[in-house]
Amino acid sequence: MSDLGPSEMAEVLSVQAGELLRIWRSARLSSQPEMLPGLSDGALESFFQALGPMLARGARPAEAGGALSGTLRVPPDGANGTLAEEWDVVRQVLRAVCDSLGAGEGVARWLEEAAEAGRDTALRFARGESTAPHRLVLLRVFSGLALRPRTV
C-alpha cells in the first residue's frame, strides 16, 4: 500500500472533521475527567474543519492557528499547562489518523506542525496577546469545575 498524499488526506480530513473532534473529546476526557468541557473545546471544531481545505490548497501549517474561531475557556489564574496538554491530545489524534491510514511522512509532519500552530495561537490568545485571530472569544471561567485538583 502506498502512502496517502496531501490530496487524499485532505479529503479524509474534510469528511471526518466531526469525527476527529469526537475522538479528541473522548481522549481529552480520559486525561482530564474532572473538567467538562475542555478549555479548547469551543475552538477545535473550526480547527479540525480547516485542516482538510488547508492541506488541499497547499497552505503552510503555520496558518492553521489563524483558522481558530469560537471560544477558549480560561480560569482567572491562567491555564497554559492545561491548554498545552489539550493540544498535545490534538497532536496525538492527528498522528493516530496518519498511522492508521498510512499517510505519508510529509503529511504527518504537516499535521504535527499545524497542531503546534493551533496550540501556540491558543496559548497566545489565552495570555491576551494581540497576535491571535479576532474570531476567538475568551471566556473567563470562575466555576469550581475548571482545573480543580483531583481528589481521588
Structural domain contains residue 115: yes
Identify the CA nearest to 125 among candidates 86, 85, 62, 69.
69
Structural domain contains residue 14: yes
Mean pLDDT of 67-85: 87
Structural domain contains residue 150: no
Structural domain contains residue 151: no
Structural domain contains residue 149: no
pLDDT at 152: 45
Q: How many domains does the chain have?
A: 1
User: What are the tens digits of pLDDT across the range 4-55?
Assistant: 899 999 999 999 999 999 999 999 888 776 666 888 988 999 999 999 999 9
Per-residue pLDDT for 148 more than 60? no
Mean pLDDT of 108-118: 97
| 138 three-class SS | strand
Residue 76, classified by CB atoms within 10 Å of its CB into exposed (0-12), middle (13-18) or buried (19+), is exposed
* Residue 82 belongs to domain spanning: 6-140
Structural domain contains residue 24: yes
Structural domain contains residue 130: yes
The CA distance from 39 to 83, in Å, is: 7
What's the mean pLDDT when you consider all of the chain?
Answer: 87
The CA distance from 121 to 109, in Å, is: 18
Mean pLDDT of 101-115: 95
Structural domain contains residue 147: no
